[in-house]
Amino acid sequence: MRKLLLILCVFTLMSCTKEVKISQLVFNKSLTVAYYDEEPFSGKAWSEDNKTVCMTFEEGKVTLIKVFHANGKVAVEGTEFQGVGKTYDEQGNSIELHEFVKAYPAIVGEVQHMATNVLYDESLK
């Protein structure tokens, strides 16, 4: 009985957790603060597929951005929305940006597409 109750509690908590998509966020014009439901967003927001891009925010400010390879390994990791941090190959080895762009054009294209479709509101500070 205890196990059943514990399992029900876990499922209840999981079902209450709402996953936020990057496309649901609204950024200020300078892309330095993200809002969700008109409040600065804190937490993780994912790309529509829940596996390509994950952005972590604290009080609306980006603290970490991760882009993933199809195998789940980190492809790009950084802290700036409009910058590039570290880049990695599919085995997790660090590679130079120019090598990454040449080797993984599909990832670069997808991130550029997502970045150009970010919602922003000029009235937000």
pLDDT tens readout for residues 40-56? 999 999 998 999 999 99
Report the C-alpha gap between 57 and 35 in whole angstroms: 10
pLDDT value at 100 more than 80? yes
Of 27-36, 42-51, 92-101, 108-117, give the lowest mean pLDDT range: 108-117
Q: Could you give the strand order of the β-sheet that contains 43-46, starting from the edge strand earlier in sequence? A: 20-21, 43-46, 53-58, 61-68, 74-78, 86-88, 94-95
The number of CA neighbours under 13 Å toward the Cβ of 93 is 5
Q: Please indicate, yes or no, whether the overall pTM of this predicted structure exceeds 0.95.
A: no
pLDDT value at 14 more than 80? no
